[in-house]
Structure 1
């Protein structure tokens, strides 16, 4: 009789559970759009926890990155954001330490004036290269990185103004990431600007997903999902779909690599995991300055 009652209780619980399916969990994202790489990477990562029924939602207004990070930290309407790796951000919110862009933001291609297209044609010594002046916004972390490597930087206060300053030859070149340079060239080529064809600068950078330090479950699900997607190749396939053509068009193998240090990179960035980064040997020769 006792076991019969237990069996009936179990059956009743199963009926109740089937009548009340698990409620989907909304994950509110900032700093991305519905169809972009970051959204698809997050969706891929969360797909490895199907029992949670995660659904990605978006805020319908622009939020500055620092403000979004503070909202995440305080559980005020945003759950996750993709952003560059900095010590300051890691003190505020919790990073998933898997570089989403394989370091692409640290691969910098100069925009220059067409009339100066041969500026970097001849191989130059470090000293000679550093005589050229780069242009950057004074608030950008890249500005500090370039200056820490002994590169002269002319700083502006407005992004659009930098293209006018380049046109007027206030500085010599405007280093932009591989993800930005083509779009900006097409937008501003009427200024007589071209993509410099001979060199590429590189310094290590990482782009992470960040969540609240208290949201351990979401942090673990994103991290575990990304690790699984790395292992089975699906994240790399997604990366190539979005950025493979860009990397090919930049023509790395015919560019001279100028390797720079990044003293501001957090010390826990997983630089030793080669599978997480752009495979340089696949694209570039050994002509390193």
Structure 2
């Protein structure tokens, strides 16, 4: 009898807290999936992310209700709301050890690592300066901007680059005014941001010749007191990989296709830097979840010049 009781307890534990394909107790009420309404243009990277979120929740076959917040939120505020788990129940962001400690991360890169391929938003009349840059040491004297609280700040500083943090929308104004030299943005972000923020900042543009590369992942994050939602997203993401539906979405989504074509990565000089802030668990993500996984973790030691080389981002 005692042995039977032990088995029941163990099975109950895995049903509630297990990830992957472990059986789960179905929630009595639909999962409340509340994500931040964003101020960015609807047809952009967040359009793809929301399509991914809907796909994986549907694949989980767990009842859920998905809706945005009533007011727009940027990352800092969204993460604050996610901590209390009421106004926001799920968010996506570039990962960091802090985020992975504070929240439940779903460790499947939403963008397959493309967030670590960075184009630079610059002031148009400074393109001639960037035309002369081929190495990390040549980039180092220039000054980068980043959003407040972003994980990229320490990655760039670790590589010997100068960085100033400011509110997200304000960084575009600082570039336009010539107070900062460049704003590294993921290849899925740079061109949509020019379309959105360019009218108010007419002197900004996407730099034409460089791509800065470091290992980086965007995850979905869930409040620690909401393992049911974390399990649903994990299960759904795994199913979407297994049946090919996520890779089909990634390959065919108009935003992803257009951005990769527009970026002309094969014609850009690639500068690699390290990301020493990846957690062990993130480093151990299976290779199939990364875009060109065999190369994404190749990077020189911090502060060493990186030889200019042509990027190749084809499967």
TM-score bracket, shorter-length normalisation: 0.7 to 0.9
Instruction: Give the direction of change, closer, same or farther, for the CA distance of 1:215–1:173 in structure 2 (3 Å limit).
Output: closer
Given the superposition, is the C-alpha separation of residues 137 and 211 from structure 1 closer, same or farther in structure 2, using an over 3 Å criterion?
A: closer
Query: Which of 184, 196, 218 is 1:175 aligned to?
Result: 184
Secondary structure of the residue aligned to 2:70 is coil
Matching of residue 29 in structure 1 with residue 34 in structure 2: yes
Identify the residue that residue 269 of structure 2 maps to in structure 1.
256
Q: Are residues 1:109 and 2:114 paired?
A: no
Q: 2:145–2:166: 8 Å Cα contact kept in structure 1?
A: no
Pair 1:86 & 2:96 matched: yes
- Contact 1:31-1:82 at 8 Å conserved across structures: no
1:102 partner SS? coil
Q: Is contact 1:28-1:77 (8 Å) kept?
A: no
Within-5 A mapping of 1:25-174: 25-31=30-36, 36-50=47-61, 52-62=62-72, 64-72=77-85, 76=86, 78-122=88-132, 124-137=134-147, 139-153=149-163, 155=164, 157-174=166-183
Is residue 69–residue 92 contact of structure 1 (8 Å, CA) maintained in 2? no
State the Cα RMSD in Å: 3.0
| 1:278 aligned partner | 291
Between 159-168 and 206-215, the greater mean CA deviation after superposition: 159-168
Query: In structure 2, the residue corresponding to 1:179 is in which secondary structure?
Result: coil
Instruction: Count residues in correspondence.
Output: 260
- Distance, in Å, in 1 between the alignment partners of 2:167 and 2:99 is 24
Cα deviations across residues 147-188 of structure 1 (Å, max 9, x unaligned)? 1100123x2534444334333433322222223211232332
1:266 counterpart residue number: 279
Number of the residue aligned with 1:226: 237
**Is 1:205 the equivalent of 2:216?**
yes
Q: 1:42 to 1:151 in 2, by over 3 A?
A: same
> Structure 1: which 5+ residue stretches go unaligned?
1-21
Q: 1:96 touches 1:210 (CA, 8 Å); kept in 2?
A: yes
SS in 1 for 2:198: helix
Secondary structure, counterpart of 1:67 in structure 2:
helix
Secondary structure of the residue that 1:185 maps to in structure 2?
helix
CA gap of 1:48–1:265, structure 2 versus 1, over 3 A, is same
Unaligned runs of 5+ in 2: 1-26, 296-307
Counterpart contact for 2:118–2:213, Cα < 8 Å: yes
Helix, strand or coil: the match of 2:280? coil
Question: How far apart are the structure 1 equivalents of 2:143 and 2:87?
Answer: 43
Give the counterpart of 2:204 among 193, 197, 209: 193
Check the 8 A contact 2:210/2:270 in 1, yes or no.
yes
Give the distance between the partners of 2:172 and 2:65, measured in 1 at CA: 40
- In structure 2, relative to structure 1, the CA distance for the partners of 1:114 and 1:84 (3 Å cut) is closer
Which stretch of structure 1 is more off in the superposition, 108-117 or 269-278? Answer: 269-278
Contact 2:271 2:309 in 1 (8 A): no
2:33·2:66 contact (CA, 8 Å) conserved in 1? yes
User: Does the CA-based 8 Å contact 1:30-1:68 persist in structure 2?
Assistant: no
CA spacing shift, 1:31–1:204, aligned 2, 3 Å: farther
CA contact (8 A) 2:266 2:310 kept: no
Preserved CA contact (<8 Å) 2:94 2:151: no
